[in-house]
Structure formats: C-alpha cells, structure tokens
Structure 1
C-alpha cells in the first residue's frame, strides 16, 4: 500500500516540487491549499483538501482525511497557527517535516552557522510578526519560523520531526525571482553591474533537491538540518552560467564592483542586486549533517539552465514578491559611472 503524504501548501515553488517528487516516487499525496486561481490548478493525481491554514475548522476537516505517514509543512509562519495545526494533526500523522529557514538563527547573516548555533527566542504560541527587525540581524520572519519549530517539536517530539532550515532556494517556478531577475538582466545586455567578488563562494540550492531531501525526511529521517548548496561554486559561476544560457547581445560585460563601494552607494543588499549581501555569514553555513543524511545537490549551471527554460516556455504566473527585486536601469547606470570614475582616479 502506498505511503500517504500530506503537503501543506502545494501550489507555489517548493510545495509544488515536493508534490511532484512525491507523485513520481509513488506516494499517495493529499494537498491542503486555498486554491486561489493565480496559484495554479490542482496537480493531477492528488487528493486536494481546500481550506485556510489559520482556520481551525478547515484544519479539523483536514485531520479527518488522515491518517498520514508524514506531512510536509510549507505554510508555517505564525507560531500560534502552526501549534494549532500540529496539535490537530498529531494523532493522525506519524512524522512532521517543517520547512524553516536560516533566518531562524540569531547569528544569520553575520556569523558562520551550524545546527548547534543559537536560534531566535520565540514562544511556540506567539502571534503574527513576533520579535523585531534589524539590518542586519533578526527579522519577524525569522522569529516566527523559530517559534514554529518549537511549536511542532513540542507537540510531536524531536524523534518524529525533521526541521529543514533552508537557505536560498532557486529553480523553476520560483515566485520570488532572484535568479529570474539576473537571467533577464544579463539577457538585456550592456554593462551589467555585478556585486562584490566574483570568487565569493555562494550556497543557493535547487528547489528539486530540497524537495527530494524533504521526502527522505518524510520517509523516516528526523533531525534538524541546514539545507544549502555546498559553497563550492561562486557568484561569478552563477552569472557566467546566466550568460551562457541567455546568449546576451555582443559586447555585454559583467562589471564587478567591490562590496565597500556598493555599500557606499547605498544599494539595498539582497534585493536591489539580488543575492548580494556583504555580511560574512551569508554563505558560511555548514550543511554537512544534511549531506550525511542523504542530501544531494545539482550544479548551479543545471539550475540556471532549467530556470531559463521555464521562464521562456511556461509564461510564469506573477507574484507580489517579485516586485521587490532589482535595480532600476537609470540607477544602475549611475552606479556604473561612479565605479568607472573611481577606477580611473577621477
């Protein structure tokens, strides 16, 4: 009899990838989603339960659809809501896989991290937007995820829970659009403002690799895991891969400007030049525990290629977060001119 998997949030990006991977692997999949038109149709081959994560009646109805061998929760943001979901599902779910984030660490992005690094202090029953925001430093998003981790672990017990503290996830169907922005920018051509050191190691991970590891955990691998790329590829590798797949106009040039200069120009880190952050802990995350537990990651070049194929073939559905990203062309030209003047001593 096929194992039964419940996926909370199945239409966008990681939830979609988990659902697809589970169907391919032969799981009997039930998805729980609101079913908004803009987030896409229900995947073929799944049972869909519609409802809101924050609605106790909907969650109670979902529990009645059990039992399940495992749940993968992509919707955990507010601890109080996650605590209620965990309590409702605990009698009918054997294992809980919680998708968390590196932002749950108190030291991210300032210092190197392992799974033993301190996390932010948030109660398992905290309400929306707990804690505070800092730049750099803590965020209400990170506090909330830390509280969700406590909510699930306190309900299920550590031996029935896998917490995936994911780093930057890229790949096809990415609604945030960090890689998509770079692909489109390189495709436009000209002088492209490239941030920092091209030899800086970076640790993004393909969404399909996170999904495969989530399924491994759902099948019976508990624990807390940092889920990132290995850090053996660089920002230069990423933008070179973009240039190879998009075939930009002749004369396109990557102009690498130093962190110090970009900071002095007041550029917003992480958003105005996506994936750029000058803080030393950004890409200093130890994911060896996940690799020992079976995490396998593909090359950045494959992720870049497949994302471009998706962008140019599937007419991606827009998402509000994509509007947060990218430097305006006029502003980029100003910064490039200032960098050129600095380099020439003017």
Structure 2
C-alpha cells in the first residue's frame, strides 16, 4: 500500500526535481498531487510518464494526505506548512522558515536520522544545500576524530537562486559574445565570468545569512560544539555546489583511517587520485545522488588538521533527494503512517 503525496512548489526547479526523484526512486505513491501558487494553477508538470495538472495551493485541503514535500519559498511555507500539518499531513519543508525552530528536526538522513522521532509538530526541515553536503562528508570523520573547528569556502551554483538565477547566467554569458550590457537582477553583481562573495543579505557581524545558516545548521545537525567559519561565494556554474573544507579535530588524524571511513560512509563517494584530473568537479556531479570527496590531505598548519574538497548536485542531494530520503527514512522508522 502506497502513500498520498503532495508536492508543493511543483513548478519550481526543486519541485520538479522532487517529482523526478520520487519517480526514479520508486517511492510508494498511491496518489500524487502537484501544488503551486494561483498564477501557476492549471500548468502541467511531469511525474514519470504521467502529466499532472497543477492545483492551487491556497485552496487545497490536505486532509487525508500522508506527506507533503514543500519547496515554495519561506513565506509560503510559513502559512501553508502548519495548515497541512494541522490536517494530519507530515510536512517536509525545503525552505529556511522552520530550520532553527527547536521543536522542528533538521535532518540529513545519513547523519541524524533519529532526530525524525522529534517531529512532534508534524514538520521536518530540510537543511540548506551547502550545509547538507558538508555534514554528509564530515559525519564519518567526526565519528572518528571529533571535529572541533571547520573553515569552509563554498563555490555555489546559480541553481541555488532558482530558475531565474540560471536564466540570468545564461543571458549574461550569451550577451558577452554579442556586446550586450549585462542585465543584473537576481545577483548583486554580474555573475557571468565572475564570482560574487555574497549569498543572501549581510548580518550585523559582517557574515551573510548563508554563512550564518552553515554555522547554526551544522551545530544543530552534527554537534553543537563545532565552530564553523564559512565564506559563501556564488560562481558561474549552473548546477553543482563545491566546497573547500578545512577541519581541526580533537584527536590525531590518521589519513588511512579517514579514507576508509569516507569510502564506507553512506552517501559519500571518495574519488581522490593525486594526479591531473583525479578529483570531481561540479559539472561531473550533476544528476548524481552522492556527495563526492576529493583532495583529501593533512593540514600541517594546525594540530590534527585535515583538508578536503567536496561537490554535490545542489538540486538533488542539496534539496529534492534529501527531502525524499527523509520521507523514506520516516517510513523505515514507522513514523509516516497512512492517514487516509
């Protein structure tokens, strides 16, 4: 027996990826509905070889639906997430709205699956895309050596800003070759052939909101004692986030054991050859489920230091896949009962 599943924000990049991921992973669906804003109602989206007509989120009744995977934007989730949960539907939310609420678990299934048992409000939060891939790579190393400080620089694809961000990179890149002046709307500066060291707004301490998210989310998911310093950069890549991570551990680092732990870790692929091209780049991770780790090496500048490079498809593991895996894990833990 399958589940009645709602996909909220179904016309967006993440919503479409959720539909694709549900079908590819053969999630046990008895009935599925695509929901979006009133202006998108009536549009069509694909679910495998089926075409779904998008329904109006604002008038949709969640009563009798088992699980809703949300990716409509934080302000929309703030209104309709609790409404769906009150109707008895488990909400898995991709936006930032619920992440730091103490009674809402923030979950990466490979890292902290048992936190799903704390979903007393019927809402589970999906972490930020850059946080997800980092904690997936950190988890096996933290279990071995106990991470105490992380310094990370991210190289984040424009897909993190949605379809409009991808369109802006495409338009600016094309315009460069025909001498059109760049039209800047989605980002703070020209993104084509450029890097922008700002994602989200600046906070009082000089960090951006994206950098703050990586700090507080890593603490909530992995260990409240870990110190994190992040510098988040938008780069002219369509899909696939990259991160250069330096970790200082409590215990001495054994590089051989670190490699073994990463090779065996769920959700991680270690591809680290010390030769030209012996690493994974963002374009190679598109459409893949794993977080790829490369350039693993000792950091000699601090006690017990280790450095690595990791890449992941931010629309899949960074959003859609993680949300679907949360639903799958809830089924495995008997936390997603049929409500119809």
In the superposition, the TM-score normalised over structure 1's length comes to 0.36
Give the structure with the higher percent helix.
Answer: 1
Give the structure with the higher percent strand.
Answer: 2
In the superposition, the TM-score normalised over structure 2's length comes to 0.37
